[in-house]
Copies of this chain bind each other. A is one copy, B any other.
Amino acid sequence: MKTLKYSRQRESIKASLMNRHDHPTADALYASIREEFPNISLGTVYRNLNLLVETGEIRKLTCGDGADHFDGDTRQHYHFVCTECNQVYDMDLGALEELNQDAQSCAPGIIDSHYVLFYGRCKNCLGKKVDKSIDKPA
């Protein structure tokens, strides 16, 4: 395994991810890191995000909206993805320990982990829906 050297950029990326809870994409994170490091490059952000994922310090979320999202919270928890605004929310739902065991008997191999996303419309967008129906009366 490769030895990691300290880098201010990597620390900043990690700290930034710990401070926010909106599961930013690499690009969104890049935008906010630039306030501290105006010269940082997007390539550096990607390289460090991948390193941090490898070392298990952060997590990558692929939710099917094109770009990967990143999460500074590495505890096993679940996410809610709004199909309208694509926002990714944390859910206050602890690890579903029994899921792997329940599924193991149907698996063509040994289950190490599972990945769950819940899809729906968030409260914010449910609210907007009402406004929309006012804009467009039948």
Measured CB to CB, the residues of A under 8 A from B are: 60, 62-64, 68, 78, 80, 82-83, 89, 91-93, 99-100, 102-103, 106-126
A116 contact set on B, CB distance < 8 A: 99, 114-116
B120:A111 contact, CB within 8 angstroms: yes
A102 contact set on B, CB distance < 8 A: 93
B125:A118 contact, CB within 8 angstroms: no
Copies of this chain assembled into the complex: 2
Known: A62-B62, A62-B64, A64-B62. A112 touches B121 (CB 8 A): yes
B114:A119 contact, CB within 8 angstroms: yes
B91:A106 contact, CB within 8 angstroms: yes
A122 contact set on B, CB distance < 8 A: 108-109
A93:B106 contact, CB within 8 angstroms: yes
B121:A108 contact, CB within 8 angstroms: no
A118:B91 contact, CB within 8 angstroms: no
Q: How many Å lie between the Cα of A67 and that of B64 in the bound state?
A: 10
Q: How many Å lie between the Cα of A100 and that of B125 in the bound state?
A: 19
The listed residue (B83, B92, B107, B119) touching A91 by CB distance below 8 A is B107
In the complex formed, the residue of B with least CB distance to A121 is B109
Q: How many Å lie between the Cα of A68 and that of B66 in the bound state?
A: 10
A103:B91 contact, CB within 8 angstroms: yes
